[in-house]
Amino acid sequence: MTGAPTITRAGDSGVVSLDYGLASTMLALGSVPRAIASLRNWSEWVVEPTMPQGVVDIGTTSEINLEVLTSLRPSLILSTPFLAALDEKLFRIAPVETFTVYAENGEALGRAYVETLRLGAMIGRRQEAEAFLASADATFGRLRERVKSLSAPPVAVINFIDQRHARIYGGPGLYGGAMRRIGLENAWKGEASYWGFRTIGLEQLAELDEEANLVVVSPLLPPDVLTRLSESPLWTSLPFVRRQRISVVPGVLMFGMVQEALRFSTIMVDVLETAAR
């Protein structure tokens, strides 16, 4: 989809990633991590790209299996500022490099570009990183032209926490940045953290533009939440429900990097084109 190089065999890099976005970026640059944290949940939260066979699961970031990690003898461990408490233990095993995408006073997508180049240089894939980002720019440009041709209504993007609450996306986060990049108006005008979301009560969705479309990002929590909400007078009174302007899309890592922004943007435009037919 993004014109990334062909992935080589699993684990040939010797690099371990504690972050999904960094691991996904490695794949986009044609390098496969030796191991990642929370591999078992990759297919649920990242979905694409698929993690190649042979990559080792070293446990969750809250419970890293240091014995397994040590046995792998990694050449480098990729981390984020939110895992700084692990640094002292990790430095005994291998060099640790911290990448910052989500932080105050900046946008996730812009930082993801910068950190992609830094990661590429660090793992010997600088040219691949430059090519990947050039391809990403071209893809965003094509998606922007498709959005222009649609005269699309504003779009609100959420995922459910439970039957009464949701995360709604915007602000400086990845989803919000991707929407701005392709010229898609975000129906949510409220504040959002630097992670790119705000937790709201579902009644706050009544504040959205009446013409807005709603996009729900999987996984659905709980799985039958939309069925249960169909019995709620509040939910069924919302304009996008009455007009059947709701789309449920596959999971896209909301705290990812450029590869996830591309996938999210492509899915959004595909959904809008389908709704416009």
Q: What is the number of residues in the chain? A: 277
| Residue with the larger pLDDT of the pair 258 and 8 | 258
Question: Average per-residue pLDDT in the chain?
Answer: 93
Residue % of the chain over a pLDDT of 90: 90
Q: At residue 16, does pLDDT exceed 90? A: yes
Question: Model pTM greater than 0.75?
Answer: yes
pLDDT for 221 equals 82
The tokens for 182 are: 């392709």
pLDDT tens for each residue of 111-158: 999 999 999 999 999 999 999 999 999 999 999 999 999 988 899 999
Hey, CA dihedral for 169, 174, 179, 183, is it positive or negative?
A: positive
The average pLDDT across 205-232 equals 92
Residue 8 in this model has a pLDDT that exceeds 60: no
